[in-house]
Amino acid sequence: RTLSYHTRNPVFDQKVTHLMQIIESRLPADAMAPVYLGARSLRWATDHISFGALGDSYYEYIIKQYMLTGKTEKRYSDLMKRTLVGISKLLFTSTPSKMMYIAEFRAREFSHKMDHLACFIGGTIATSSQELEDLTVEERDQLLRIAGSLTETCVKMYTRQATGVSPEYVQFPQQQDFINGPGYYLSLIHI
């Protein structure tokens, strides 16, 4: 939409809108979109749901689409509300620190890991709490609490590292506090 707006060429908006219609028509009730949709078959090619790599942009832009349309396209509002229901099924809290995280779903089970790319979700949920219409005060407050908790976990993904740089992802084994995902080798470099 933004590209169409700036170029005054409606084709970009038309193509994205068409693609969103295809995706929406295939979503389950909770609006959780797997990360792969077959280009020819237009069927989900996996059950992998991620708010990190491969899934982040889709979920990030639902509320943005609603706002970019001046809140005139209710379908994006409805889709975001459905997405918030789906998100609630992926939220877990670690022990003992009570860090809230959004898990992935793959091969019919939860994967207790969180990519640093999923850290947008706190802002998306907070924005949704303020921009979506027809939410009660209690619903808005609950969404803000969730957004704050997820953002706090993301901050810890950075501040608990000697370098201040988050690993690609963290794991929450047995829903315990996070450990760095395999392959995180950064250490302090003294110059």
Which residues partner with 109 through β-bridges? 106
Catalytic residue check, 131: no
- Asked if 153 and 114 touch (Cβ cutoff 8 Å), the reply is yes
Contacts of 138 (CB under 8 A, 6+ apart): none
Q: What is the DSSP letter of 103?
A: -
Question: What SS3 class is residue 95?
Answer: strand
Question: What are the distances in angstroms from CA 116 to CA 16, 109, 144, 148, 167?
Answer: 26, 21, 20, 16, 7
Contacts of 14 (CB under 8 A, 6+ apart): 4
- Closest alpha carbon to 96 in 28, 178, 21, 13: 178
Catalytic member of 60, 131, 139, 168: 168
The structure tokens 């793959």 sit at: 106
In whole angstroms, what is the distance from residue 170 CA to residue 115 CA? 6
Could you give the residue numbers annotated as active site? 168
